[in-house]
Each structure stands twice: as structure tokens, then as C-alpha cells.
Amino acid sequence: LIELDILVKQWIRSEGLRQSMNWNQVEQVGGKVVSYGSFKLLVVDKESDLDLLCVVPRHVTREDFFKNLYELLSKKAEVTELRQLPWAFVPVIKMKYRGIEIDLTMARLTGLEKIPGDEEFLLLPMVARDLDQKCLRSLNGYRATCEILQLVPSVEKFRLTLRMVKLWARKNGLYGNMLGFLGGASWAILVAKVCQLAGTDGSQGSCVNLLHLFFYTFAKWNWPDPVYIKKIEAQSYLAWNPTMNHFDREHSMPIITSSAPQMNSAVNVSKSNCQLIASKFEEAWGICQKVLEGTRPWSDLFRPTNFFEEFDNYVLMSGTCRGDSCLWFGSIESKLRQLNHHIGSCPKVSSVRVWPQPFVRKDGHSFQQMWFFGVKMIVGHSAETIQEPLHVFTDLCMETVKNVSSPYASTFSVFWQHVPRPQLSRFLTNPELGISKIDKLSYAAVTLGQGSTMTNPVVVTGTQSMAGYANTTTVRSPVPQNEFRQV
């Protein structure tokens, strides 16, 4: 973080000199890199990336960011897998810096003559005035992170609970904003909401209380009622407002950010995924009940889901290349959420679910990445009838290759294949299919962020059929807090 901060400050100076600013001006205008997201919240694990915001003065443009800074980064030996997404909802430069995944966004503060040295000024309302929408979205990532820490009764208990919830979400294939599940910001808001509901007294005891309350609260939540941790009355037209904006009324799982203009952090979650997540909340609540009764161990809550046992039919989507793998695989992955929707819209399909973690292969100089969709068909219909959305998807992916600047573009390819469950072993190893011993996680290991590297599904007998979202978990009211078993 310090190295990138120094590099960005040097780049800002060079941009000023290139625009014929005098040296005194260049030294005074300032600029910086600040962290947000899981790193700022101190809940990082081995799979977390580093979210950074590049705060620049008004003489530096977005074009400078994506052209000149990008070129500077490309010459750094520490930087690998560099790519840019200037047209994204939140424009970003992605890279690995010394092996660490970095997402670098930019906010150009046009209303300030110089950037102060501290970070606290970024929370002032006047900083957000006159910013364009893309800069405002980038800035709000930082502001929302800081506000969460101010809105919870106990930051320590919030962090520990969030660690456990994020681990549970990864194990159940529910983590990932791009593929239509909940991202880190949404999980943080949900945990913060539960901390607020528990109050100061409820946040002083064991995190077990908060974890149980978390699953109880959202198992019973009446979606699409929005989740707020802070309400702001007077906002711009850009804010999430279903009474004024008919697009906002269609959101299935509104989880609203705290900083103005407030937005839905879970905008990509479909109705079917909302039902899936809600059913998993209820299942987890049932497990917590059993743990507190002493009839089940904590490890049951954090066992990976049995995705490859839930469906009779799967669709394999695979991308291959001989270089710039992050660029190509990222392009494919960004379209998978829509593919999931199109498969689910087929009249003969009962339900479909994508597993958010890909499976990676390398053979010499060739790279491959595979994603799997579980498909449940209406009785009497074959999964082989799903053809058109898959052909359209591969055509779309290959069409984007024409606009990609890469020396390896000619090696980019994508293909799909129907895979009945008995044939999965042709593509996945036994551990990936879950045919291996499951290591139990202690409560202490979970709170320390250990054991979160296993993202592949593992077979385990469950109480719920996820393919049809049918719940068989016994529903009971939470026991009073003074009856919780301390762990």
C-alpha cells in the first residue's frame, strides 16, 4: 500500500509538470491512495483482494488514469496480470502487485484546490459535490466502509462475526457480486445491521449470540424489504428510491449502502438467488439451534455445500488461452450472470445455479478455467435441449475478442458442454468433487480467518434440497440471550 501510494504521488506530480504547472503547484496539490473494503475493515483472508482508491486533484483526468498511470504500472516488475475496465459501473484497474490482487479505482476531486494529507476529509459532505457519477461511486466505496465502523456498537465483535459469516458464505457458494450473489460490501452491511439490532448490550457478549441472531434475522426477513443501517432523507435523484425509480422496484434483495447517494449493493441478485440465499440462512439458523443445544458441532455450520450432488445435469463453460488469462477469463466471467438468467428463462428449465468459484487448469503454456452450472429440468425434458443461450453466449464472448488488445488474443477460446452428474469425474478431481475427508474447523479457527481456502464444494449430507429450494429445517424462535451457550 505504501509503495503504491508513493508511485501514485509521483505520477500525479509528473502529470502536473506535463501540463506546465510550476513545481510549487505540483508539490502542493497533493493526492493519495487509501484502502477500503475488507482490508479497511480488517477482515481480510487468503482469498481477499485489496480495494484501493486513488484520490487525485482536478488537473488529473480519468483518461490520464487509464492511459498514463496504466502505462506506468505496465512497466513495473512488481505488477502482473494488469488489465483495465474503464467502462465498468465502477471503473477500475485490476492487477497483481507482488502477488496480491489489487482493484484500483479513482476519484477526481474537482472542488478542492489541493488534497489534504489526512483521510478524514473524504468523509465531509462537501467533498462529494460536483463529482461525476463514476467518481462518486468510487468515493462511496471508501465512505461506506468508514461509516460501517462508526455505525456498529462494537467494532471488534462486528469484525469477528463478519469473518464467520463470510467464511460460511464462501463454503456455501453464496459469495460473489459478479455472479449474482452477495459481495463483501453486502455481507458487511448485513452483519452491521444485526449488530445494531443486538444493541450495545447484545454486542458485548459472545459472537455466538450475534451469529445466531444473524441467521435468525435474515431467515425471517421479508425480502424485498430493504436493509438499511442508516437512513438519509434528502438525497439526489441518483439514490436508491423504488417510489421514484421503477428499476429499483424490481430489485429482489435491496441491501442499501450508508453513504449518500445510497445505493443497492446487491443489485445483481436475482429473485431465484434471493430465494436460495434466504433458504440457506434458514438452514444455517437450524444448525445454530442444534449447536446451542449441544447436539451438533460448530464444524457442521462451516462444511462446504454439496453442489455436485444437488443436480442430475450440469453445464460446463470453459475458457482457454496461452496468455493474458486474467483478461480473457475475466471477460468470460463478467457475462456468466446473464447466461445463468438466460438458461433459467428456458421454458423447460425448472431451476439453474452457477457455482461462483472457477476451477483452474494449466497444461504447459496453456491455461484453462472452468465454471459449472447445475440445471434442474422440468420432468420429462432433457438438459440436452438447452442449446440456444449457450451458443449465443460463446458467440458474444468471441465477439469481444475483436476489441481486446492482447498478443494472445488469437489463442482465446470458449466452449460449453452438457455433463451428466456421473461424468463430472472426467473434468474434476475427487477432492474437487468432495470425495475426500472433511477437516473439522474449530470456532477459534473460524474467528481467526483460518480454513477459508477451501472454496470448492464438498459432498456432505444436508437437510435441504437446494435444487428446489425446499426447506426441511425445523423453525423455532431464538432462545433468550442469557441462555446462549458460551463458546
Q: Which of 156, 194, 195, 149 is nearest to 37 (CA)?
A: 149
Which pLDDT score is estimated for 309? Answer: 94
Which pLDDT score is estimated for 234? Answer: 75
Mean pLDDT of the chain: 87
Sign of the alpha-carbon dihedral angle for 424, 426, 432, 437:
positive
Distance CA 354, CA 201 (A): 40
Angle at Cα 232 formed by Cα 228 and Cα 236, nearest 5°?
A: 115
Cα 48 to Cα 81, 184, 274, 357, distances in angstroms: 16, 9, 23, 13
And the C-alpha cell for 85?
475496465
- Write down the pTM of the prediction: 0.85
- The band of 73, judged by pLDDT with boundaries at 50, 70 and 90, is very high
Min mean pLDDT across 201-205, 287-291, 358-362, 415-419 is at: 201-205
Listed in sequence order, the residues at least 6 apart from 280 whose beta carbon sits closer than 8 Å to its beta carbon are: 172, 174, 464, 466
Concatenated DSSP letters for 27-88?
HHH--EEEEEHHHHHT---TT--EEEEEEEETTS-HHHIIIIIHHHHHT-TTEEEEEEETTS
And the C-alpha cell for 184?
463483501
Which pLDDT score is estimated for 436? Answer: 54
Q: At what angle do helices 388-400 and 336-344 cross, to 10 degrees?
A: 160
- 251 close to 227: Cβ distance less than 8 angstroms: no
Q: Which of 130, 187, 185, 143 is nearest to 35 (CA)?
A: 143
Judged on CB neighbours under 10 Å (0-12, 13-18, 19+), 113 is: exposed
And the C-alpha cell for 180?
449474482
- Percent of the chain topping pLDDT 90: 71
Distance CA 357, CA 354 (A): 9
Q: Which of 5, 52, 50 is nearest to 30 (CA)?
A: 5
- Per residue in 242-266, pLDDT tens? 988 889 999 999 999 998 889 999 9
And the C-alpha cell for 52?
484501493
- The band of 45, judged by pLDDT with boundaries at 50, 70 and 90, is confident
Is the confidence at residue 147, as pLDDT, over 80? yes
Distance CA 265, CA 245 (A): 16
Distance CA 282, CA 143 (A): 32
Q: Quickly list H helices, 120-270.
A: 133-151, 155-171, 184-202, 207-219, 246-249
Min mean pLDDT across 259-263, 396-400, 475-479 is at: 475-479
- Per residue in 161-210, pLDDT tens? 999 999 999 999 999 999 999 999 999 999 999 999 998 877 777 899 99
- 11 close to 29: Cβ distance less than 8 angstroms: no
Beta bridge partners of 319: 369, 414
Is the confidence at residue 331, as pLDDT, over 70? yes
Q: Which of 265, 263, 266 is nearest to 237 (CA)?
A: 263
Which pLDDT score is estimated for 463? Answer: 30
Beta bridge partners of 313: 375, 420
